[in-house]
DNA sequence: TGCCGATGAACAAACGATTGCGCTAGCCTA
DNA sequence: TAGGCTAGCGCAATCGTTTGTTCATCGGCA
């Protein structure tokens, strides 16, 4: 059992409050030098660590953040989390990780538990456009930041990419390559990324004077498995598309796998574009053309936004949106020179800037 | 600000303790039915949630676990974490995630912070053979479980694979293929996995009556980058090996990349075996031959061991070791039929059993 | 009527820290 | 020598729960 203030006080023949002030380096504390050194010696000797629970109760601050994501085994969310922890740890915050598997019910129960725990702030990367959980959160005083997906078109603090533009650029790339029958393995229409990227897909068609075939848009979810299932469906229609824009790289990977199984050559029979540029996208063969977003930065910026809210006690309703960059690989263009430089994320590449 | 017991008590004209007992469904509580229903209505109406901090202070239990790993963007550790959370969440525990990047100093500071926070238990996957942090942990009363790496040959609760056997099987596979000059991109000798897999590598040589060339063993760390650097080194010697056993799949991936750059064909000029069978191993081309271990189960078993310790308040000094399975892919054997079945993790495959 | 046992709920002491305020010396000054 | 100032600490309330104990009331029974 760790030592308490009371025990130390007994050993030093002073009142607990005195120890507390010395340990916390209370500015403006008037204390005799010998008393202070006696106490400091005791603190060192015992390695006293204040009980964080008691401290939290008194100070109404836990120094704990929480990150709520669909699934940390998805590399996108793992990188996101690192971004958060990298800014939180140096500031003395620990971070809880909650996986929802995309289930609203699990998200709700996690958020409820986090509320009971009185975490100081929450970062949510699993929100829906209409999300009771987010609405509850707004009602509480608890600071939060949405990442990647926003909710309700609200004015909540948010960090993510310009998904409308991203969807448009991805699709325009396929149009530029001469494709006219372009499919879309869409995200859920209940999720902002799904809605906006799909809208971008349509906008690119309009801008090019092309008519998008509604039959070529199928909802594919966000996992590799659901993507594969949707792709199997899409590629089985009588007149299949010659190219697809997948809402995420994971969906693109599932698609590539299914396409290969069905005898499509990539990119000759089917060109594929993904989204996010997760590390996997550049490692598989063929490399997946994708929209690069600064994933780690999503996390670190969101973390900073959250910590500023917490420490300055201000609403800080900022919204940060990064512009995604098209990264062209072999899944859309055959015969690319696959050098390390072009195939792997390149740190000197131009990153989208907040605007 | 959430509602407190005291406020509810005022509204219901009863003492806070009465509310508490009703909320907690205190068995053996004698209470008038109308009082009870009045309180229950109030609880429902206000959606009362006890303050977890205050609760934790009183009950000396936080219902928080912590997982300490090198880096969650490494898919191995991400899967491990999921295993933990999947058993912790249903039991009402939240899980803190701490990344150390393999630095003892960061591990120490994390563990100190976790101690201050009074987490109920810790799972460590980043321990060293001689690890002051682990020794400190033994000194505390705080339950913990080591995963993947153990420490000090101690009797700490542990979940991992039989690394000696794994190293032996991996190397024997290369010997079986006819290789006689086999390199080893070793883990750190300060880490149990590094030490044992290297020992297994040597044992396989001995068993086959082969002499291992000490010049072909280089320490490669655990990241792709450090693995690549070590591989560059190893492959530059005058008489380079025709095969290597890499301590992890990440190191194997770095090796493959470097080998390709240096003009080695895989597996014709250089065969590569990894360890862990992370999802990436089956997705890259050529697929990486590796030793499969049940990663998710590492986490879930460790979580269960830890929770049992916490809830039953017993030491539960169990050690669980899984036997790894050799998964052969194209990085050691050319011309394999790359079907989905053989290239992707197969859930019906025989998993190593605890022994 | 008087006593006893249930019954129903209040009381109060924790848990371990933080912090505004009050108290007691000692010293200086007038 | 009395009064006041200040340095150096102690006091005690507080954060929100939990839980052993006590207390009042009431009905029943002798």
The answer to whether the Cβ–Cβ distance between B78 and A79 falls below 8 Å is no
Q: Do B116 and A49 touch (CB under 8 A)?
A: yes
CATH class name, domain A5-50: mainly alpha
The contacts of residue B353 (CB under 8 Å, 6+ apart) are B322, B323
Here the tokens at position A316 are 């800080």
Mean pLDDT of B163-175: 98
Give the residue-averaged pLDDT of B167-185: 98
**Closest nucleotide to the alpha carbon of B2, via C1':** D16
B355 vs A159, residue with greater confidence: A159
B212-266 pLDDT tens trace: 999 999 999 999 999 999 999 999 999 999 999 999 999 999 999 999 999 999 9
Distance from CA of A213 to the nearest CA of B (A): 31
Chains A, B: CB contacts within 8 A come to 122
B62-160+295-322, CATH topology level: Rossmann fold (3.40.50)
* Three-state secondary structure call for residue A175: helix
Q: At B319, phi and psi to the nearest 5?
A: -125, 120
Q: Which residues of the protein have their beta carbon within 7 Å of strand D?
A: A 13-18, 30-32, 34-36, 54, 57-58, 60; B 1-2, 4-6, 16-17, 20-21, 23-24, 26, 48, 50-51, 54-55, 57-59
Give dist(CA B58, CA A32) in Å, integer: 35
Distance from CA of A313 to the nearest CA of B (A): 14
Check pLDDT > 60 for residue B348: no
Which residue among A50, A72, A116 places its CB closest to the CB of B50? Answer: A116
Q: Which residues contact A55 (CB under 8 A, 6 or more apart)?
A: none
Ranges of chain A whose pLDDT falls below 70: 315-316, 337-355
Q: Which of residues 75-94 of B touch A (CB under 8 A)?
A: 75, 78-79, 81-82, 85, 89, 92, 94
Per-residue CA distances from B24 to B21, B120, B124 (Å): 5, 21, 33
Give B141's contacts in chain A (Cβ within 8 Å): 1
A18 to chain B nearest CA, in Å? Answer: 20
> What's the CA–C1' distance between A32 and D3, in Å?
26
Write the pLDDT tens digit of every residue in B219-231. Answer: 999 999 999 999 9
Protein CA at A18 to nucleotide C1' at D4, angstroms: 26
Asked if the Cβ–Cβ distance from B96 to A94 is below 8 Å, we say yes
The 3-class secondary structure across chain B, one letter per residue, is CCCCHHHHHHHHCCCHHHHHHHHCCCCCCCCCHHHHHHHHHHHHHHCCCCCHHHHHHHHCCCCEEEEEECCCCCHHHHHHHHHHHHHHHHHCCEEEEEECCCCHHHHHHHHHHHHHHCCCEEEECCCCCCCHHHHHHHHCCCCEEEECCCCCCCCCCEEEECHHHHHHHHHHHHHHCCCCCEEEEECCCCCHHHHHHHHHHHHHHHHHCCCCCHHHEEECCCCHHHHHHHHHHHCCCCCCCCEEEECCHHHHHHHHHHHHHCCCCCCCCCEEECCECCHHHHHECCCCEEEECCHHHHHHHHHHHHHHHHHHCCCCCCEEEECCEEECCCCCCCCCCCCHHHHCCCCCCCCCCEC
Confidence (pLDDT) at B1: 79
Alpha-carbon gap: A285 to the closest alpha carbon of chain B (Å): 6
pLDDT in tens, B269-297: 999 999 999 999 999 989 999 999 999 99
Q: Rounded distance, CA B297 to CA B308, Å?
A: 16
Strand C-proximal residues of A, range 32-61, CB below 7 A, are 50-51, 54-55, 57-59
Residue B22 · residue B48 · CB < 8 Å: no
How crowded is the C-beta side of A189, counted as CA atoms within 13 Å? 5
Do B163-293+325-343 and B62-160+295-322 fall under one CATH topology? yes
Range B329-336 average pLDDT: 90
Q: What percent of chain B lies above the pLDDT cut of 70?
A: 94
Using an 8 Å CB-CB cutoff, list chain A residues near B110.
Answer: 89
At B351 the pLDDT is 37
Sign of torsion over alpha carbons B51, B52, B53, B59: positive
| Cβ contact A184 with chain C strand, < 7 A | no
Residues recorded for chain B: 355
Beta carbons of A195 and A129 less than 8 angstroms apart: yes
Structure confidence at residue B340 (pLDDT): 38
> What digits encode the pLDDT tens for the residues A75-104?
999 999 999 999 999 999 999 999 999 999
Domain ranges of chain A: 5-50, 61-160+295-322, 163-293+325-343
Terminal Cα-to-Cα distance of chain A (whole angstroms): 52
Q: Which of residues 269-288 of A touch B (CB under 8 A)?
A: 280, 283-285
Segment 177-236 of chain A within 8 Å of chain B by CB = none
What is the token pair recorded at A180? 């006219």
Q: Is the pLDDT of residue B349 over 80?
A: no
**What CATH topology corresponds to A61-160+295-322?**
Rossmann fold (3.40.50)
Position A337 scores a pLDDT of: 61
What contacts A236, CB < 8 A, 6 or more positions away? A262
CA-to-C1' span, B34 to D27 (A): 19
For the record, the structure tokens of B234 come out as 């190893």
Q: Is residue B343's pLDDT more than 50?
A: no
* Predicted pLDDT of residue A269: 97
Give me the residue from B75, B81, B85 closest to A75, CB to CB: B75
Least confident of A14-28, A52-66, B54-68, B335-349: B335-349
| Mean of pLDDT values over B130-156 | 93
Q: Which CATH architecture has domain A163-293+325-343?
A: 3-Layer(aba) Sandwich (3.40)
For residue A316, the model assigns a pLDDT of 66
pLDDT at A285: 87
Determine the average pLDDT of the residues in B121-141. Answer: 95
* B60 CB below 7 A from strand C atoms: yes
User: Is a pLDDT exceeding 70 seen at residue B78?
Assistant: yes
Report the pLDDT averaged over residues B52-79. Answer: 97
């Amino acid at each position: 059992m760790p030592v308490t203030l009371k025990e130390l006080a007994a050993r030093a023949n002073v009142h607990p409050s005195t120890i507390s002030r010395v340990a916390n380096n209370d500015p403006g504390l008037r204390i005799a030098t010998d008393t202070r050194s006696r106490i400091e010696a005791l603190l060192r000797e015992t390695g006293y660590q204040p009980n964080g629970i008691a401290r939290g109760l008194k100070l109404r601050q836990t120094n704990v953040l929480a990150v709520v994501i669909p699934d940390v085994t998805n590399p996108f969310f793992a990188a996101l989390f690192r971004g958060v922890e990298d800014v939180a740890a140096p500031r003395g915050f620990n971070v809880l990780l909650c996986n929802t598997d995309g289930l609203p019910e699990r998200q709700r129960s996690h958020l409820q538990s986090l509320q009971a725990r009185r975490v100081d702030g929450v970062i949510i990367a699993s929100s829906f456009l209409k999300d009771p959980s987010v609405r509850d959160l707004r009602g509480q005083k608890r600071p939060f930041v949405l990442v990647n997906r926003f909710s309700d078109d609200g004015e909540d603090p948010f960090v993510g990419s310009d998904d409308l533009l991203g969807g448009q650029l991805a699709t325009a790339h396929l149009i530029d390559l001469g494709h006219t029958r372009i499919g879309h393995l869409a995200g859920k229409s209940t999720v902002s990324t799904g809605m906006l990227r799909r809208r971008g897909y349509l906008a690119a068609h309009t801008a090019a004077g092309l008519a998008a075939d509604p039959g070529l848009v199928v909802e594919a979810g966000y996992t590799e498995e659901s993507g594969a299932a949707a792709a199997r469906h899409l590629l089985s229609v009588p007149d299949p598309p010659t190219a697809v824009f997948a809402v995420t790289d994971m969906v693109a990977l599932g698609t590539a796998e299914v396409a290969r199984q069905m005898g499509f050559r990539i990119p000759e029979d089917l060109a594929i574009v993904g989204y996010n540029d997760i590390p996997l996208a550049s490692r598989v063969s063929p490399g997946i053309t994708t929209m690069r977003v600064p994933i780690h930065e999503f996390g670190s910026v969101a973390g900073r936004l959250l910590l500023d809210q917490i420490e300055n006690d201000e609403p800080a309703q900022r919204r940060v949106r990064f512009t995604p960059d098209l990264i062209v690989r072999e899944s859309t263009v055959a015969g690319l020179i696959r050098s390390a430089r072009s195939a792997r994320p390149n740190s000197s590449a131009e990153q989208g800037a907040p605007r």
